[in-house]
Structures are given as structure tokens and as C-alpha cells.
Structure 1
Amino acid sequence: MSKLYNIFRELSFIRGSLLTLVITWVLMRFGVSIAVPYWSPYLRELGASPFIIGLILSISNIALFISRIPGSYLADIYGRRRIIVVFTFLVAFTQLLYVYAPDWRYILLAVVLEGIFLIYQPALSAMVADLIPEDRRGIGFAVINVLPSISAIFSPLIGAYIVSIYGLETGMRYVFLLITILYLISAFLRYLFLEETLENINSGFNFNLKNLFIDSIKSMYRGLHDSPRSLKMVILILVLSSIEDPVFMYYISLYVFDVGGLSEYEWGLLISLFIGLSILLAYPSGWFVDRFGRKNALVNAYLIAIPAFIMFLMAEIPYMLWLSLTLLAIGTSLANPAINAFIVDYTPMEYRGRIYGLIGNLNLVSVVVSSPLSGYLYELNPRYPFIMVLLLNILIMFVLLRYLDDSVGVN
């Protein structure tokens, strides 16, 4: 009983605006997690080849890149709340395009609009960083990353059921209609309950697009220039990691069907188990980050991830996919809170919006390049994108061991 009380006391900082964000993430994650395992097969059903799928992701990230530049600046000048609320509503209405898309070209239009409307992401990241106490950053980021996943444990199985009943195309249209409703509810909750966290807000809004982009880029460069070397190394690690994103966002769901031979139900069950394991590991992972340091957590995460990727390449062997994704869940649970805590440790509050915007933009540049490349490699051989991921993880481990200094983690 006392242990349970201590856990609740540790998590007492999750209230007010932070609790509102967590609740909306729960709703959004529940809906999105129904669609994600079947997203690439849905695009293929609408006529997109693996290369076109990568091109769609690349173009959507160009739109997101453009929106992040002013978004990061606006978050630090005009406040977090108003940007988050307005553009959450716009993202919600964009989901209707996924519902009625007759072919992949309409999906391309939808992802471009959604990328533009996600201008609020730097403000969202900055608000979360503002709300988590300094001595709770490791466990704080671990818990808020995983709490929304609780509602998503059974989402992939729900997706598998809908697809099996209505077919892939019709079933996914119903799924995106549900996502639209959940996003609208989340937008209203943010409008009603979020409170501003930035103290000095410019109440005027003199919008000059050219000057806004120039000032944003200058501000992000200034924030990076003034950052310590360790933060620069963490940003480098994130950029290298983001090259892997298209592989796991778009091509893993094709790989498990084309190479692993899984059924829709087996794939949904595997994703549900992955989410459940991540939830179980959230609290101990956050504790490990706070107790033993950010660098130790990252090193252990990649020591687990590298053999997991090797196993993933042997997908035809029974249960190898299951073992691989189990190890990846462990590694990811360690890496995510460590990276987030590292960034906040070394970033002053007044620069957080710009630094998060810079990180997001650099990551997006990597994704823009790697998305069509991953699609091209997949068309050559479904294993090639995952071999690329394995080599990237080995490179990241080298950067971790050689250049990253963790002088804050245990303080």
C-alpha cells in the first residue's frame, strides 16, 4: 500500500494543463493506433507503390518542416496555448480527407495540410517541458509518453477486427471517421482547460511571413550555438535516429506481411503486446534514467536494440519477429525518457520552443531524404531498409560512447 502511495506521490505533478494534454493524447493515441498497423497496406490498396508511399511521407514532412520554423518562434513569443488550440481543431478537420479519399493522391493532399497545421508541435513540446519539474524529468517524460498508450493496447486488435469485417479499404475509412471524432473532442478539451505557461507573451500579432521565417531561423541558430556540446551530440543522435523513422512508420507493416507472413490478426496482436510491454516498462525506465544517468540509459538501450534488429532480419524464422519487437520495446522504453530529459537538462526555458523546433526540423530533413530512399530499397529487397537501420544504430552507439558527456544525469 505504501509503495502505491509513493508512486502516486511521484506522479502528483501530472495535473492541470499537463493532465489535460495527457487525456487528449490518450484519445488521439487510441484512434491513431487503430490505423497505424494497416496504414501502408491501405495506401497500397489505394494504388500507391512502396516508393510512392515513401514519397508521400517525404512531401508531408516538407510541409511539416516549413510549418515548424515559424511554429518554434511563435511558441516562445506569442505563447503556447493559443497555437495549440487553434491548430488542433484544423488537424481534426483534416482527418475527413482520409475518410473520403478515392485514391492515394487525396491522401497526399491530406498529409500536406496536416503537416502545415502541425505548426503547433514546438509549442506543445515546450509546454510539456515547462510543466514537468526539474527533479522529475526522467520519470516525467517516461510516464507521459506511456500513459496515452494504455488506451491503445487493444487498438491494433480493434483495427484487425474492423479490417476483417469490412475489408481493408472500407474498414480504414470507418477508422478515420472515428479518429476525426476523437480529435475534435481533444481540441475542445484543450480549448477549455489548457492554461498558458509562458510568462512574457507578446499580445500583438504583427504577422510578416518573410521576417517571421528569418527571425525564427536566427533564433534557432542562436539557441544551438549557445548550447553545450552534449546537447549538440544528442541532437545529432536524434537526426541519425530519424532516418529510421520511415522504415518503422511505413514499411514494417508491409514487411511483416510480405516477409514474415503474419496475418492481420497476428500483426495486431504483436503491436498490442509491444504497447503493453512499453507501458509496464515506463516507470522502471524513468527511474533508471533519473538514478543512473541519461547516457547509461541510452547505451543500454542501443545494446539491446542492435541484436534486436539482427533478429528482425530473420523474419521467416518462427517467433523471431516476436522476440525482436519485444527487445525493441525494452530499448525504446529506456531511450525515449533519456533523450527527452537530456534535452531539457541543457536547454534554458526561454529557448525551449526554438530548440524543439530546430530538432524537429533537422529530423524532418532526414525523413524527407530517407523516405523515398527507404521505399526504393524496399522495392529492391524488403530487407534492405532494415539493414540500413542496423548500420545506423551501430553508428549511433559509436557517437554515444565517444562523444556524449553525461554530467547532469545523476544530479
Structure 2
Amino acid sequence: MAAESPSVRSTVRQFLSLERDVLVLSVAMFAFSLGFQMTGRYLSEYLVVLGASPFVVGLYGSFGNIISAVYPYAGGVFSDRVGSRYALTLFGLLSTLGFLVWLVAPLVGPIGLGALVLEPWVWIFVGLVLAQAWKSFGLGATFAIVKQSVPDDRLARGFASTETFRRTAFLVGPLLAAGLLFVFSGGAAGEEILPGFLYVLGVAVVFGVVATAVQHVSYEADADSFGTEFAGIDQIRSDLADLPEPLRPLLVADTLVRFANGMVYGFFILVITRIWELDATVFGFYLNPAVFFGVLLGVEMVVALASMAPAAVVAERVGLKPVVALGFAVYAVFPVLLIFAPADPLVVTLLFAFSGLRFAGLPSHKALIVGPAERDAGGRVTGAYYLLRNTIVVPSAALGGYLYDSDWTVALPAGPLDAVTAGPELAFSVATVVGVVGVAYFLAFGEEFAAYA
């Protein structure tokens, strides 16, 4: 008898049948993801409104990469020491505080410290340190739970179920933000985003408070296990050295693709709101560029949610590698397609729908990461993998910001181009070149997980 495909109904049934602790974790993940997605994709515009340059936006992206590299591993170690319940509560409180710091940043104003002046945008960096805290627990825990609960040849399907619920927040969050911006922000672009975005941040604070309270009260601490004391740098070296051999080609390709995406990810909104000032009228309602960007993110996530489960089923028939390669390819080519696209609302909407296909490979990608790990080592393998990948990706956004915000020109001696000029086109083009190299490397050297071969 053929296995049931992961339809929406079966996904909901599988979700509701989860054990209580996993259910609590999933609900908290949804709430915090909602807060992150309402705010995170707009923070580049928020930084510029608060006085930051595009290069500072790039530095902010690289700062976020540092946090993404350090938090998953450090958070897992901390959770092992104090137990999941207290770790969840602490991380939830810190994330909520981060949203609050973002909210009050415009009210603080410049602060003079002698010759040094702290501009309001500095507090967005501070808030990020706090707001990302909850993710430090969720990443490794989710991988480990799925690895322990799902047969090896159904890993992609298991991740598709959990990702569908988490990514639903990725759909609802930007649309909710767009709605609040539509109601409370007027005009075409610029500082008009500020009133509405403060409401967005206020709602994110409320979500954080509620999620933290629910998980602290509902999470059962009886089954918490406490690990041994952290062994320091030697333990990190050991975990990195012990990464399964099949992961190494995937890690190289994934790092190149993520480096490419990191170069320009934070500038997608600036292309819409600052370069093109692209507005639209939908069903008679005028959408300013910031609101329209939220709609574009919603379109992207509708395609993502619709494609993840079918892609997981396809992976069971053709293998994980082709599906992962598809996701990598979309990551790679999207930047150059976007920056050279005509500033037409319909064309750009179709491009963001195409971008949603990069998520189709995400469940298979996660299965390919955790699949070769021992059944009781999924969290550690995941943490080590992301620690190494995200550490290498750290400078990507700063490099992208430098190319995006510079105005130099280099003459070329011969060839189809007379010169190379810095700017958004160069930043996005270089990103695509790096991404394509990653895709080619994965196609050439990437290994299939044995359970799907």
C-alpha cells in the first residue's frame, strides 16, 4: 500500500498527535517565528529610516551571521546544562526583550559619549543579540526530535510536516506586517514606514510574552536530561572533526549558496522601496512600496508552503540530491533576476513566487544534513554543521553592503565589458556567480543519503 502523501489534513493530524512537549515546542516556534517574520524582513528599511547607510545594513547582516553561527551550538550546550524548560523560558524572555529594544530605538535618539555619538540604529544591533536567542534552542532540538521520531527513508517527509507549520508563520507574519503598515503608514516610501512598523514591533512583543508564558507553564520538565559539562574548544573541534563524511560536499556547496544569499538578502526590501519605489494597486487598494513588499513575501511563502510537501514525496522517488539542488539553484539565480528585472509589479510578483521554490528543497536539505548522523547525535551534528557554515558566511553581508554602497569603477583591458562599476547591480551579480559555483559543486560532488538512494 502506498504511503499517504503529506496533505494538509494529514499534516494537521500528525501535528495534533505529537507528544505534549513537542507540541508546546512547535506552538512556541510558530509564535516566535511569527514575531521574527513580521519584523526581520523590514529591519533593513528600519535601519535606513533611523539614519544607517546601506553599508551599515550590510554590517548588520554580517553581525546577524555571527549570531547565527554561535547561537545554535552555544544554545544547545546551555540547554543540556540547565534543562529545556528553563532554557526555553530564558531564551523566550530574551527574544521578547529584543523586540522591545527595537520598538523603543527611535525614542532614544542620538546619545553623545564624548566624541562618540550613538545613533538610534545602534540599538537595532543590540536588539538582534536578544531577539535571536530563542532560535538558539529551537534549531538543534527540532532536528534531533525529527531524527529520533521518523524512519530514515521518511526524513524529508517528517521535516516537511514541521516546516509547514513553522513556515505558516513566515506567510502570516509579513502579511500581518503589511496590513499594519497599510493601516498606520501612509505615503510612498521613506519615513512613513515608521508609525506602522512601531505597531508591528508592539505586536511582536505581545506574541513573545504570550509564547514565553505558555511554554513555561505547559512544558513538562520531568523528562529533561542534563548533559555533561561543556569541554570547551576541544569539544567543538571534536564535533567538527566527527561530521559524517557524506556531509562535507553538502557543507561546501551550502556555504557557497548561503554566502551568495547573505550578500544581498538584506537589500531585497531596499530594491523595492528605495531603488524602484515600487508601489501597486490591488483590488482597488493602493499599496505603498513597504506594504507591497509584505505582499511579495506572502506570495513567496504561499509557493513555499504549497511546494514543500510534494517535493518531499518526489525526494522519496528520485532521491534527496536533485530536490536539494533545485532549491540551491533558485537561491543562486534569484538575485540577478531581481536586480535586472523591469520595475513592474506583476513581473516582480512572479519573481518572488519563483523565489518560493527555494523552500521546496528545504525538508530534503535538512534530511540530508541529519540523515547520516547517529540516531542519538542529530542535535550535535546539526549544531556543528551550522556552526561551521554560518561562521564562514559571516562576512557575506558586509561584502554585499560594500559593493552595494560603493561608487568606484574599474576599467577592463578587453572583453564584453569596458569597466566594472560598484553598486546594486554588481553586488547582486557577484552573489549569483558565487551561488552558481555552489550549485555546480553540489551537482558534481554531492552525495545521496543511502536511505533515499
TM range (shorter): 0.7 to 0.9
List aligned pairs for 1:108-187, cutoff 5 A: 108-115=125-132, 118-130=135-147, 132-134=149-151, 135-164=153-182, 165-166=184-185, 167-187=192-212
Question: Is residue 54 of structure 1 aligned with residue 96 of structure 2?
Answer: no
1:107 to 110, 121, 124: 124
Determine which of 400, 404, 410 is the counterpart of 2:446. Answer: 404
Identity among equivalent pairs (%): 19
What CA RMSD, in Å, does the superposition of the two structures yield over aligned residues?
3.1
Aligned residue among 213, 223, 226 for 1:188: 213
Query: Relative to 1, partners in 2 of residues 1:264 and 1:410: Cα closer, same or farther, differing over 3 Å?
Result: same
**2:278 aligned with 1:252:** no
Rate the CA distance shift 1:155–1:71 in 2: closer, same or farther, 3 A.
Answer: closer
Unaligned runs of 5+ in 2: 107-119, 186-191, 279-288, 407-422
Distance 1:304 1:251, change over 3 A: closer
> Contact 2:255–2:389 at 8 Å: present in 1 too?
yes
How much does 1:173 deviate? 1.6
Distance in 2, matches of 1:247 and 1:108, equals: 18
Inter-partner Cα distance in structure 2 for 1:145 and 1:106: 31
* Higher alpha-carbon deviation: 189-198 or 156-165: 189-198
- Deviation by residue 1:162-206 (Cα, 9 ceiling, x = unmatched): 33424312221221111011012212232233456988534x8x6
Report the Cα distance in structure 2 between the residues aligned to 1:409 and 1:197, rounded to whole angstroms.
Answer: 34
Letter in 2 for 1:373: L
- Does 6-15 or 92-101 show the bigger shift? 6-15
What displacement does 1:116 show? 5.9
CA separation of 1:155 and 1:162: change in aligned 2, threshold 3 A: same
Q: Measure, in 2, the Cα distance between the counterparts of 1:87 and 1:51.
A: 30
CA distance in 2 between counterparts of 1:329 and 1:356 reads 24
Answer with 395-404 or 355-364: which moved more.
355-364
Pair 1:312-2:338 in alignment: yes
Residue of structure 1 in register with 2:425 after alignment: 383
Change (3 A) 1:325 1:64: closer
Alignment-derived partner of residue 219 in structure 1: 235
What residue identity is the alignment partner of 2:126?
A: L
C-alpha distance in 1, partners of 2:101/2:128?
9
Paired residue for 2:248?
A: 232
Other structure's SS at 1:229 match: coil
Deviation of 1:258 after TM superposition, in Å, equals 3.1
- One-letter identity of the residue aligned with 1:399: Y
Contact map agreement 2:180 2:196 (CA 8 A) in 1: yes
| 1:94 matched to 2:98 | yes
Q: 1:281-292 alignment to 2 at 5 Å?
A: 281-292=307-318
* Counterparts of residues 322-361 of structure 1 (less than 5 Å): 322-330=349-357, 332-361=358-387
Contact 2:178 2:294 in 1 (8 A): yes
Q: Does structure 2 retain, via aligned residues, the 8 Å contact 1:305–1:327?
A: no
Secondary structure of 2:243's partner?
coil
Could you tell me how far apart the structure 2 residues matched to 1:116 and 1:306 are?
A: 29
Partner Cα separation in structure 2 for residue 404 and residue 306 of structure 1: 17
What TM-score do the two structures reach when normalised by structure 1? Answer: 0.85
More helix by share: 1
Larger RCO of the pair (alpha carbons < 8 Å, separation 6+)? 1
The answer to whether structure 1 residue 26 and structure 2 residue 54 are counterparts is no
Cα distance in 1 for partners of 2:46, 2:442 equals 38
Kindly provide the CA deviation profile for residues 301-333 of structure 1, in whole angstroms up to 9, marking residues without a partner as x. Answer: 345555544422322253432232222212x13
Q: Which amino acid aligns with 1:105?
A: V
- Paired residues of 2:179 and 2:291 also in contact (CA < 8 A): yes
Q: Is the 8 A contact 1:61 1:115 kept in 2?
A: no
**Cα deviation, residue 365, structure 1:** 1.9
Q: Comparing 92-101 with 310-319, which one deviates more in the overlay?
A: 310-319
C-alpha separation in 2, matches of 1:127 and 1:342: 13
Distance in 1, matches of 2:359 and 2:66, equals 28
Flag the 1:123–1:168 CA change in 2: closer, same or farther, 3 A.
Answer: same
Alpha-carbon separation, structure 2, partners of 1:110 and 1:304: 31
**In structure 2, what residue type is equivalent to 1:385?**
A
Q: How many residues align?
A: 400
Which segments of 5 or more consecutive residues in structure 1 lack a partner in the other structure? 207-211
Counterpart contact for 2:58–2:397, Cα < 8 Å: yes
